[in-house]
Amino acid sequence: MSIKKFLAAGLVAISLLATGCGKAQIGYVNGNKIMEEAPQIKNVLAEAESKIKDIQTKAEEDFAKKPDMTDEERQKSLQDVERKVAGINQAYSTQLKQKLDAALADISKQKNLDVVIDSSDTQKLIFMGGIDVTEDVIKKLQ
What pLDDT sits at residue 124?
A: 72
Please list, in sequence order, all residues whose beta carbon lies within 8 angstroms of the beta carbon of residue 134, skipping any fewer than 6 positions away. 28, 29, 30, 33, 34
Residue 13: predicted pLDDT: 52
The pLDDT value recorded for residue 114 is 93
pLDDT at residue number 63:
87
The helix (H) or strand (E) run that includes residue 116 is: strand 115-118
pTM over 0.75: no
Alpha helices in 112-141 (DSSP H): 134-140
Show the low-confidence residues of the chain (pLDDT under 70). Answer: 1-22, 127
Cβ-in-10-Å burial (0-12, 13-18, 19+) of 5 comes to: middle
